[in-house]
Amino acid sequence: MIDWSTCPAVERDPDRVNGAWVFRGTRVPVAALLENLEDGASIAQFLEWFPGVTIDQVRAVLEHAAPAPPEACRLEDDPRFLDRIAKARASLRAGRGIRLEDIDPK
């Protein structure tokens, strides 16, 4: 399981959204991003559907999740999601950080 406590883009309050990790300043759970990516949504679609979340927050969450084994995200072994995490890891290793063009299908 990923330790989200060190990711600056998220926060958790036991009195909001049942204590789930959410994007800072919103009520949007981090799990919503991971689940939407797993289901094949693009990051652009996610940002359109959840306008309170910023691209910088999404990048920070993906960068934070990238070093963790994909199974730590507790998603099904969906090859599309695992491929995106692998691409995010490769981008980080190359010193580029997370770029949408590296991980998001066109």
pLDDT tens digits along 76-106: 445 555 666 666 666 666 665 555 555 554 4
C-alpha–C-alpha distance, residues 49 and 79, integer Å: 23
pLDDT for residue 76: 43
In tens, the pLDDT along 13-25 reads: 989 888 889 999 9
Query: For the domain 4-103, what is the CATH code?
Result: 1.10.10.10
pLDDT for residue 89: 63
CA distances from 28 to 15, 50, 86 (A): 14, 7, 24
In tens, the pLDDT along 24-70 reads: 999 999 989 988 888 888 888 899 999 999 999 998 998 888 765 55
